[in-house]
Amino acid sequence: MHAALKVEGLQVNYESRRWAREELKTEFETSVDAYRREEQQLRAQETALAAKRQTLEVARTNLAEMRLTREQLKADLETLRAELALEQQAAAQERKLASDPKAAEAREKLESIRKRISVMKEERTLRRELKTGGSAVRAHEEQKKQQEERDAFINQRWGGAVDATSAKR
């Protein structure tokens, strides 16, 4: 249109049609104004799009951080659940052992057997000392030393505390 308007005359040829110069000039100015408005709208929309892209990127970053945090929390929760299950099993095992009458009876029998064996050993040691002319006190001290060594070995080997009756021996 602009090139057609540069030509002199009252009539102008544009797109295989004859136009009055003023009419084509008015049409051209209207088209230019519309084009400028559309360019401004385009720039505004591009600015809005850039802002939305930036917002989207921030949202994606936040989402990734939230997912990571969620996964960490899930892992922590699973760890806590496993620890709780272990504690519950240990507590149940302790209750079972403490309340088991057969285990208590077996412990009593073992303790009774230990006492009888201890008495038999002491009697044998004393008899041996008397035969050899040794001192009963020295024999008792040696027996006590042997018992302490035995208790220390038991504690070291099995980690169990020596009960009060075996400590008296």
Are 63 and 110 in a shared domain? no
Cα maximum dimension of the chain: 156
Determine, yes or no, domain membership for 76: no
Q: State residue 97's pLDDT score.
A: 66
What domain range includes position 54? 2-69
The residue out of 42, 69, 96 marking a domain boundary is 69
Nearest CA to 73 out of 62, 84, 65, 85 is that of 65
Q: Strand ranges (DSSP E) for 46-167? A: none
**Cβ-Cβ contacts under 8 Å for 118 (sequence gap 6 or more):** 147, 166, 169
pLDDT exceeds 60 at position 75: yes
Q: Is 99's pLDDT higher than 50?
A: yes
Residue range 110-125, pLDDT digits in tens: 888 888 888 888 888 7
Counted domains in the chain: 2
Residue range 16-36: mean pLDDT, rounded: 82
| Residue 78 structure tokens | 């699973």
Mean pLDDT in residue range 124-134: 70
Confidence bin at 167 (pLDDT 50/70/90): very low
Burial (0-12, 13-18, 19+ Cβ within 10 Å), 12: buried
Higher pLDDT, 42 or 93: 42
For the chain, what is the total number of helices (H) and then of strands (E)? 5, 2
- Residue 65 sits in the same domain as residue 108: no
Residue 95 C-beta-side C-alpha neighbours within 13 Å: 6
Please check whether residues 6 and 65 belong to one and the same domain.
Answer: yes
d(CA 27, CA 32): 9
- Answering whether pTM is above 0.85, one says no
pLDDT confidence bin for 36, thresholds 50/70/90: very high
| Mean pLDDT, all residues of the chain | 81
Tell me the angle at which helices 136-158 and 101-132 cross, rounded to the nearest 10 degrees.
150
Is the residue at 122 inside a domain? yes
64 plus 6 within the same structural domain = yes
Q: Is position 39 within any domain?
A: yes
Cα dihedral value 138, 139, 144, 147, nearest 10: 150
